[in-house]
Chain A
Amino acid sequence: MKTYKQPNTVGRFGEFGGMYVSETLMPLLLNLDKSYKKIQKDKKFKKELNDLFKNYVGRPSPLHYAKNLSKYINGPKVYFKRDELNHTGAHKINNCLGQILLAKKMGKTRIIAETGAGQHGVATATVCALFGLPCYIYMGSKDIERQKPNVFRMKLLGATIIPVESGSKSLKDAMNEALRDWIKNVRDTFYIIGSTAGPHPYPKMVRDFQSVIGREAREQILKVEKKLPDYLIACVGGGSNAMGLFYPFLNDKNVKIIGVEAAGRGAKTEETAATMTSGSPGILHGSYSYVLQDTDGQIKEAHSISAGLDYPGVGPEHSYLKDIKRVKYFGITDKEALEAFQTCSKLEGIIPALEPSHALAYLIKAFKNKHKNKVVILNMCGRGDKDLFTAAKAIGFDADE
């Protein structure tokens, strides 16, 4: 296998990716790309980021051997890469710190972001508080309703939440509105995109900042198991936690890699978010990748119980990795994810977010009584606190009693 080297200089992962935006945004993206290239060579920047990773986020995040779950599955040895222990409770902070340092270097004075589950919004609000920059978070009104604890968190951190009422009132529409804000305020504003989606250079930049997950996991597993893992598993919405874990392993051809999408009520139903299982290549938010669309190219609304996976697109790099068959993608339904959510809580004493619960569900389903003597790393990319109300309602538990 050739050494993996994606994207090319114009942000193409194979045929996917690129910059499909209006001329009001093009100059900004080109400028961002230039600035990002420059800081990649900047030792001071790297040192600053690593210092924040260590002392502010709490990195490296541990690699936990999930003994009870492994026993329950009766298959491989399962390790959790515990990015849910990060400050703010998810992997999102890794990327936000990288981008806000870049924003500072570029002299930007106002930060905007989109959020679905609220994890990226919280992470952005957090770094804005830390660096003293005003923060505006676009969030679908449907998501505001189902992620109340995170809405309160963002407000506490000093962010202004802008409810988005257009379209499906969730992540995709929040991203449309954030892009509009950016076009309107191009001169002073930095847009922190939370996933490996959107136009170049975002998919590359977010992947690079998140790949600290995979680099650590690689070092940690080599230490305890004296070998590389046989499998990597992560959930995929836009795909940032998954790219973060996968990227440093892409050249290791013996490491099998699995991405788990949210199939909602089923990948073959209209209520799904399984972009790569049910979608086709198209253009959304400035990038060519798999999207859920109708025969006219109109983007469909996604559905998932997990707000963080409720996105009708997926990062262009995942689209590429699917097509070259380096990563296999599967769908997990709301119901299956909810079961895994409970199983993991009971067995490991870890309440996972609904997003990684999809990865857990796939692991339990596909590895049960199989693949003994193998080693799996699953990215536990977020904790479940934010999902307690949603989960309680879905399970039928009256939280007010």
Chain B
Amino acid sequence: MNNLDSLPKKKILSLFMTCGFPTLNHSKKIFNEMLSHQPDIIEFGLPFSDPMADGPIIQEANKLALRSKLSTQLSLNLIKDLSKSKNNTSFVIMCYLNTVRKFGLNKFIKNIKGIVDGIIIVDLPFEEESEIKKALSKNNIHLIKLISPMTDKKRAQKLLKGSKGFIYYISATGITGSNKLDYSEINKNVQLIKKKSSVPVLVGFGIKSKKDVINISKKTKADGVIIGTALIQKYFDLKMDFNKYLKYLKNFITEVKI
């Protein structure tokens, strides 16, 4: 069974968090808090030294995780431990290709099989995906596609063919944590995607507040949102006071579950 195949029809909430941030022990507490809200999807970011498609906040989170000597194996163990209280929440890994490559694709799959429902490899364009996609699909793990406002129609058609799980639509032409949200542009592009694919379309990059979540739901045909940077940012705003941060997370997640 793959939880991503039974996502709700509307208002899907996906929460992104970097594994091992700010340390492995703290990270467990954060993910447990997230899980207690039973979001539709949790995205586990595997820390990478050079996350060029992420903004400075997530890069900083990666840096802190790596500084506490977090290895890929420890991240995968963490995800496995958390899966005991997974219930209906879908588990998705978000990472860079070098992490998978160096760990070994087969070993990687062995570690996440039956635990993780989907994987987003940020720097793996669809032109290069065939080998990995095949291996993943054999093990009932969906390779989630990213699509950007720069992706033209012809390319989108090829990219969306046979897509599973959900489509990650990058709302702002920008890296994670950008500011501007143009709802009419988002809506236009989401509708184009929906014509070519039947899986849910989630809007990510730049979603910061309950207001943004409601607007996406009201003003666009998107099926849900992905929140990442906004979750992590607050830790730095709170001067790295972990207890305060955990309380904030509780309130914030309750709020964005519309």
Interface residues of A (CB under 8 A from B): 10, 18-28, 30, 166-167, 172, 176, 179-180, 183-184, 186-187, 282-286, 293, 295-299
Q: Is there an interface contact between A284 and B50, defined as CB atoms closer than 8 Å? A: yes
Q: Is there an interface contact between B128 and A18, defined as CB atoms closer than 8 Å? A: yes
Shortest C-beta distance, A16 to chain B (Å), equals: 13
Shortest C-beta distance, B62 to chain A (Å), equals: 9
Identify 21 residue pairs between A and B in the complex whose beta-carbon atoms are under 8 Å apart, listed by A's number: A18-B128, A19-B125, A23-B125, A24-B170, A24-B175, A26-B150, A30-B155, A166-B60, A166-B63, A167-B50, A179-B52, A184-B174, A186-B173, A282-B102, A283-B98, A283-B101, A283-B123, A285-B52, A297-B102, A299-B49, A299-B98
A180-B172 Cα distance, complex, nearest whole Å: 13
Q: Is there an interface contact between B48 and A298, defined as CB atoms closer than 8 Å? A: yes
Q: Is there an interface contact between B150 and A24, defined as CB atoms closer than 8 Å? A: yes
Residues in B whose Cβ lies below 8 Å from that of A293: 98, 102
Q: Is there an interface contact between B71 and A296, defined as CB atoms closer than 8 Å? A: yes
With contact pairs A22-B123, A282-B101 given, residues A27 and B55 touching in the complex (Cβ less than 8 Å): no
Q: Is there an interface contact between B150 and A172, defined as CB atoms closer than 8 Å? A: no
Interface residues of B (CB under 8 A from A): 48-50, 52-53, 55-56, 59-60, 63, 66, 71-72, 96-99, 101-103, 122-125, 127-128, 145-148, 150-152, 155, 159, 170, 173-175, 178
Q: Is there an interface contact between A296 and B178, defined as CB atoms closer than 8 Å? A: no
Q: Is there an interface contact between B174 and A296, defined as CB atoms closer than 8 Å? A: no
Choose one: B52, B128, B150; the contact of A27 (CB below 8 Å): B150
Q: Is there an interface contact between A21 and B125, defined as CB atoms closer than 8 Å? A: yes
Shortest C-beta distance, A35 to chain B (Å), equals: 15
A179-B150 Cα distance, complex, nearest whole Å: 15
Q: Is there an interface contact between A176 and B50, defined as CB atoms closer than 8 Å? A: yes
Dominant secondary structure of chain A at its interface with chain B: loop
With contact pairs A27-B152, A298-B48 given, residues A183 and B175 touching in the complex (Cβ less than 8 Å): yes
Q: Is there an interface contact between B52 and A297, defined as CB atoms closer than 8 Å? A: no
Q: Is there an interface contact between A23 and B146, defined as CB atoms closer than 8 Å? A: yes
Residue in B closest to A166 when the chains form the complex, CB atoms: B59
Number of A-B contacts (CB under 8 A): 110
Q: Is there an interface contact between A22 and B66, defined as CB atoms closer than 8 Å? A: no
A21-B53 Cα distance, complex, nearest whole Å: 8
Q: Is there an interface contact between B128 and A172, defined as CB atoms closer than 8 Å? A: no
Residues in B whose Cβ lies below 8 Å from that of A186: 150, 173
Choose one: A28, A187, A285, A295; the contact of B50 (CB below 8 Å): A285
Q: Is there an interface contact between B99 and A184, defined as CB atoms closer than 8 Å? A: no
A10-B150 Cα distance, complex, nearest whole Å: 20
Choose one: A30, A172, A183, A297; the contact of B98 (CB below 8 Å): A297
Q: Is there an interface contact between B128 and A184, defined as CB atoms closer than 8 Å? A: no
Shortest C-beta distance, A152 to chain B (Å), equals: 27
A23-B56 Cα distance, complex, nearest whole Å: 19
Q: Is there an interface contact between B97 and A26, defined as CB atoms closer than 8 Å? A: no
Q: Is there an interface contact between A297 and B125, defined as CB atoms closer than 8 Å? A: no
Residues in B whose Cβ lies below 8 Å from that of A180: 52, 55, 175
Shortest C-beta distance, B204 to chain A (Å), equals: 12
Residue in A closest to B147 when the chains form the complex, CB atoms: A23
Residues in B whose Cβ lies below 8 Å from that of A167: 49-50, 63
Residue from B48, B59, B103, B148 whose CB has the most chain A CB atoms within 10 Å: B148
Q: Is there an interface contact between B66 and A298, defined as CB atoms closer than 8 Å? A: yes
A298-B155 Cα distance, complex, nearest whole Å: 31
Choose one: B72, B98, B148; the contact of A23 (CB below 8 Å): B148
A20-B129 Cα distance, complex, nearest whole Å: 10
Shortest C-beta distance, A106 to chain B (Å), equals: 14
Residues in A whose Cβ lies below 8 Å from that of B71: 296
Q: Is there an interface contact between A27 and B148, defined as CB atoms closer than 8 Å? A: yes
With contact pairs A186-B173, A296-B72, A297-B103 given, residues A283 and B96 touching in the complex (Cβ less than 8 Å): yes
Residue in A closest to B71 when the chains form the complex, CB atoms: A296
The 10 A-B residue pairs with the shortest CB-CB distance, nearest first, are: A297-B102, A22-B53, A27-B150, A298-B49, A297-B98, A23-B146, A283-B98, A24-B148, A184-B174, A299-B49
Residue in B closest to A27 when the chains form the complex, CB atoms: B150
Q: Is there an interface contact between B99 and A297, defined as CB atoms closer than 8 Å? A: yes
Q: Is there an interface contact between A296 and B123, defined as CB atoms closer than 8 Å? A: no
A274-B202 Cα distance, complex, nearest whole Å: 43
A384-B198 Cα distance, complex, nearest whole Å: 61
Q: Is there an interface contact between A187 and B123, defined as CB atoms closer than 8 Å? A: no
A10-B128 Cα distance, complex, nearest whole Å: 10
Q: Is there an interface contact between B128 and A20, defined as CB atoms closer than 8 Å? A: yes
Q: Is there an interface contact between A24 and B125, defined as CB atoms closer than 8 Å? A: no
A186-B170 Cα distance, complex, nearest whole Å: 14
Shortest C-beta distance, B19 to chain A (Å), equals: 12
A24-B146 Cα distance, complex, nearest whole Å: 9
Q: Is there an interface contact between B127 and A19, defined as CB atoms closer than 8 Å? A: yes
A227-B48 Cα distance, complex, nearest whole Å: 50
Residue in B closest to A19 when the chains form the complex, CB atoms: B125
A167-B125 Cα distance, complex, nearest whole Å: 25
